[in-house]
Amino acid sequence: MTDEEPSLVERQTTGEDRVRMVARQLSEPRTANWIASEAEWSHGPTKRVLERLVEDGVLHRDDSGTHTTYSPDYRRQAMQEAMRLRDGAQTVEELTDRLAEMKDRIREWEDEFGVESPNQLRATVAESHVGPDEEKRRRDVARDWDHLQRRIQIVGFAIREWDFLAPTADRAEANN
């Protein structure tokens, strides 16, 4: 036995389970063929599962290109993440502190690199004095910066909608 993790097929999941797992982990638009390959299942059944996920609002289908692609419904993901943040925080102040820490980190990068955005930072990679190690670091920071900007939007939403995002039982208690 190896230390490697077993494949999806070896985990004794159904084809539909594997398609759902692959689809929920998408970070960029993918074709049904790509998803079928990752899920190790045939194209026809994979496409049927993907269409159900589109109908359920889990995935978004894009027919505008040469191939139909599927991607996560980012609005749904953002709402679910905001609910997880609300459920995991003890107070709105705790979440506000996390927001302030993220914004402070971005301000540190702005000061350190003398830029105002992740793309401006990426552009500095072309400067002649920047070596390979520093190029990698700047690209990594730009990627982290993009991520923090998305997190700031979601955390800000969770703070603004703190009461609305409260679990149902909490809202019922507050109304009594």
pLDDT 10s per residue in the chain (176 long)?
Answer: 455 666 555 566 899 999 999 998 887 899 999 999 999 999 999 999 999 999 988 899 999 989 999 998 888 888 888 999 999 988 999 999 999 999 999 999 999 999 999 999 999 999 889 899 999 999 999 999 999 999 999 999 999 999 999 987 554 555 54
Supply the pLDDT for residue 1.
46
How many residues are given for the chain?
176
For the stretch 67-95, pLDDT in tens is 999 998 888 888 888 999 999 988 999 99
Residue with tokens 């690199």, as numbered in its chain: 113
The answer to whether 73 and 58 have CB atoms below 8 angstroms apart is yes
Contact (Cβ atoms closer than 8 angstroms) between residue 42 and residue 9: no
d(CA 146, CA 105): 12
Beta strands in the chain (DSSP E): 30-31, 59-62, 69-72
Q: Which residues are CB-neighbours of 100 under 8 A, at least 6 positions away? A: none
pTM greater than 0.75: no
State the pLDDT at residue 87.
Answer: 92
**135 CB neighbour count, 10 Å cutoff:** 15
